[in-house]
Structure 1
Amino acid sequence: MKVTEHIENANGKPLFSFEILPPLKGQNIQSIFDSIDPLMEFNPPFIDVTYHREEYEFKELPSGLLQKKIVKKRPGTVGICAGIQNKYDVDAIPHILCGGFTKEDTENLLIDLDFLGIDNVVALRGDALKNEIYFKPEKEGNQYASELVTQISNLNKGIYLDEELQNSSCTNFCIGVAGYPEKHMEAPSMDSDIHFLKQKIRNGATYIITQMFFDNKKFFDFVAKCRKEGITVPIIPGLKPIATKKQLNLIPHRFKVDLPDDLIMEVVRASDAEAVRQIGIEWCINQSKELMQAGIPVLHYYSMGKAENIKAIAKAVF
């Protein structure tokens, strides 16, 4: 079932969903199930599965040439999504990136997902690799998320890269895209960011899921700006509880997200690691309750493969 259909069928009742990371190479799918099992009591209609590009480093050979070596790889998102749908009978939503894929790679991936009965995808540009200053698209790949959305939308219309195909089947993907309540780190302004978000909707995206935020006012202002620009699709807030003091520095640096001063000082004054964890949980509970009172259709949590904090939040909210 499509995300938009889940929202319509809920008849105004807020839905719970979450996002998981693929396991590291060498781990099996049971590690994924172990992180999902504790959250199934809250009846998530769908679970997002992120995609991680291969990371690599260059090693100089005696000849002076550079050899590219893959140093980190996570198992395939397609197989994980199939495993989740088979075990839990919920919709698994793979993230699809521009980076690391040619357009032909993307088409083949989408065909596989369609064969498996996966109805939803999230189309993302993807981040630059650690050894890149700026994002570099794959040669013959999509450069922007809006182009990726167009390719998926074309498949929904039966338009494949090989224009000579006859009697081609139409896919039926519900396409999600990312939104940034505090603007994308590379966007020159919020207005330009929303301009390109609107373009992704025009190209065929049917819902938005946001980057994490810790101040609900940022989210409400973002939604208001989107509505003013004529964006009418559902906007799903992405939430994450602070879990460690290190995240006070890591999250703003990695995601370009502001943390409220009240939250920062509570964490700074915390006596130990467990106190920090509880502060993060309580803050996220309060965020969640306010969002629910505002009639937000879905609350989406970034679990990062760890269920304990998300379970504590969900118990207090749903």
Structure 2
Amino acid sequence: MRIVDLIKNSDKTAFSFELLPPLKGTGIDKLYNNVETLLEFDPKYINITTHRSEYVYKDLGNGMFQRSRERRRPGTVAVAAALLNRYNIPTVPHILCSGYSRKDTEYVLLDLQFLGITDLLILRGDKAKHESSFVPEPEGYSHALELEYQINNFNKGLFEDGSPIKSPGAPFSYGVACYPEKHEESPNMDQDIYWLKKKIEAGAEYAVTQMFFDNQKYFDFVERVRKEGINVPIIPGIKPFRKLNQLSMIPKTFKIDLPQELAAEALKCKNDDDTTALGIEWSINQCKELIKCGVPSVHFYTVGAVDSVKQIAKNIY
């Protein structure tokens, strides 16, 4: 069953969450523990992030450095398969433009199809750390919309070079990202919504928001996209506030605002334990309001916050 159907057929507000693959060589047991911490809330699906490779420089000890490319968190496809096999919960790997060529993407799609994983989240992805602006890979894509076109053609039985697939498998379905406070590179919200509409028209069945801490930003965004004829589920993405330094880090990193009420309360916190408690309380109130207003699903960003998400879910499910 497709993710959009799982959401629509849920008898209550659906629960889902996102996980980060483990660092290279650290094993998967901690990830299993994180999943098991949240199993009692009946997750409809689990998202698995992916990350591009980055340049690293190895000191050769003679005044010279060797440059190579390395991924610190490999294994998104393997993690998705492992979780599906172990828990029989649909897994949704992220598929990126960033760091991938068209051929790279094609092989990822083939691997996923062999594993029976046919739900995806399509993203452009972040720019490389050494880049001042996003640069696609050679023979890669600049926009998630282009990636959608490749997946659509794959579903029609065509490889990226236009040649036929002799034995097409089950088709992929997918969602995309959206930004209630607009993408940091977008000149304005109208342009941001224009591209979201294009992604929906190309075949995206739902959209998951970037984290936000002010529900009014979400409500205003949904109202605007509905006026533009975008009628797919807009799933709110929630990230619990946990550390004092996030007061400045979150707005800087994610280009989103923290409500003044939250900021004022955070400034009263004496340590990160106080901040974690504040973040849990704030997210509970956020989720209760969202659910009261009829959102189809709530999606949690769990990185560094699995225990907080558990406490929030206990209060709303």
The verdict on a shared fold, with TM-score over 0.5 as the criterion, is: yes
Determine if the alignment matches structure 1 residue 4 to structure 2 residue 4: yes
Q: What is the distance in 1 between the residues matched to 2:298 and 2:98?
A: 28
1:294 aligns to what?
293
Amino acid at match of 1:169: P
Q: What is the distance in 1 between the residues matched to 2:14 and 2:130?
A: 38
Preserved CA contact (<8 Å) 2:174 2:205: yes
Amino acid at match of 1:218: K
1:252 aligns to what?
251
2:214 aligns to what?
215
In the TM superposition, what is the alpha-carbon distance from 1:64 to its structure 2 partner?
9.3
2:18 aligns to what?
19
2:127 aligns to what?
128
Decide whether aligned partners of structure 1 residues 65 and 220 sit closer, same or farther in structure 2, where only a CA change above 3 A counts.
same
Decide whether aligned partners of structure 1 residues 270 and 117 sit closer, same or farther in structure 2, where only a CA change above 3 A counts.
same
Q: What is the distance in 1 between the residues matched to 2:300 and 2:61?
A: 48
In the TM superposition, what is the alpha-carbon distance from 1:166 to its structure 2 partner?
5.7
Q: TM-score, normalised by structure 2?
A: 0.95
Matches within 5 A, 1:260-279: 260-279=259-278
In the TM superposition, what is the alpha-carbon distance from 1:20 to its structure 2 partner?
0.6
Preserved CA contact (<8 Å) 2:209 2:234: yes
Preserved CA contact (<8 Å) 2:158 2:165: no
Preserved CA contact (<8 Å) 1:22 1:49: yes
Q: What is the distance in 2 between the residues matched to 1:202 and 1:275?
A: 45
- What is the total number of aligned residue pairs between the two structures? 317
Amino acid at match of 2:267: V
Q: What is the distance in 2 between the residues matched to 1:60 and 1:315?
A: 49
Q: What is the distance in 2 between the residues matched to 1:267 and 1:164?
A: 57
Preserved CA contact (<8 Å) 2:242 2:305: no
1:262-317 CA-to-partner distances (Å, cap 9, x unmatched) read 10110111122211111000000000000000110110000015410000000001
1:64-85 CA-to-partner distances (Å, cap 9, x unmatched) read 9863234651121000000000
Preserved CA contact (<8 Å) 1:20 1:305: no
Amino acid at match of 2:116: G
2:195 aligns to what?
196
Helix, strand or coil at the partner of 2:309: helix
Q: What is the distance in 1 between the residues matched to 2:64 and 2:202?
A: 43
Matches within 5 A, 1:77-92: 77-92=76-91
In the TM superposition, what is the alpha-carbon distance from 1:251 to its structure 2 partner?
0.7
In the TM superposition, what is the alpha-carbon distance from 1:63 to its structure 2 partner?
10
Preserved CA contact (<8 Å) 1:16 1:43: yes
Matches within 5 A, 1:91-170: 91-165=90-164, 167-169=166-168
2:315 aligns to what?
316
Determine if the alignment matches structure 1 residue 284 to structure 2 residue 289: no
Q: What is the distance in 1 between the residues matched to 2:34 and 2:61?
A: 45
Preserved CA contact (<8 Å) 1:42 1:314: yes
**Structure 1 unaligned runs (5+)?**
none
Q: What is the distance in 1 between the residues matched to 2:149 and 2:99?
A: 18
Preserved CA contact (<8 Å) 1:285 1:317: yes
Q: What is the distance in 1 between the residues matched to 2:146 and 2:173?
A: 16
Preserved CA contact (<8 Å) 2:288 2:316: yes
**Structure 2 unaligned runs (5+)?**
none
Give the aligned CA root-mean-square deviation in angstroms.
Answer: 1.8
Q: What is the distance in 1 between the residues matched to 2:149 and 2:283?
A: 35
Helix, strand or coil at the partner of 2:231: coil
Fraction of identical pairs, as percent: 48
Q: What is the distance in 2 between the residues matched to 1:156 and 1:164?
A: 13
Preserved CA contact (<8 Å) 1:182 1:218: yes
Q: What is the distance in 1 between the residues matched to 2:45 and 2:139?
A: 32
Q: What is the distance in 1 between the residues matched to 2:86 and 2:304?
A: 17
Amino acid at match of 1:68: R
Q: What is the distance in 2 between the residues matched to 1:316 and 1:62?
A: 56
Amino acid at match of 1:5: D
Q: What is the distance in 2 between the residues matched to 1:273 and 1:305?
A: 13
In the TM superposition, what is the alpha-carbon distance from 1:119 to its structure 2 partner?
2.2
In the TM superposition, what is the alpha-carbon distance from 1:167 to its structure 2 partner?
4.2
Amino acid at match of 2:6: H
1:225-265 CA-to-partner distances (Å, cap 9, x unmatched) read 11111111111000011000111111111100100011011
1:84-121 CA-to-partner distances (Å, cap 9, x unmatched) read 00111100100011011110110110111111111210
1:21-48 CA-to-partner distances (Å, cap 9, x unmatched) read 0111111111210111110000101000
Q: What is the distance in 2 between the residues matched to 1:6 and 1:159?
A: 28
Moved more, 179-188 or 45-54: 45-54
Helix, strand or coil at the partner of 2:184: coil
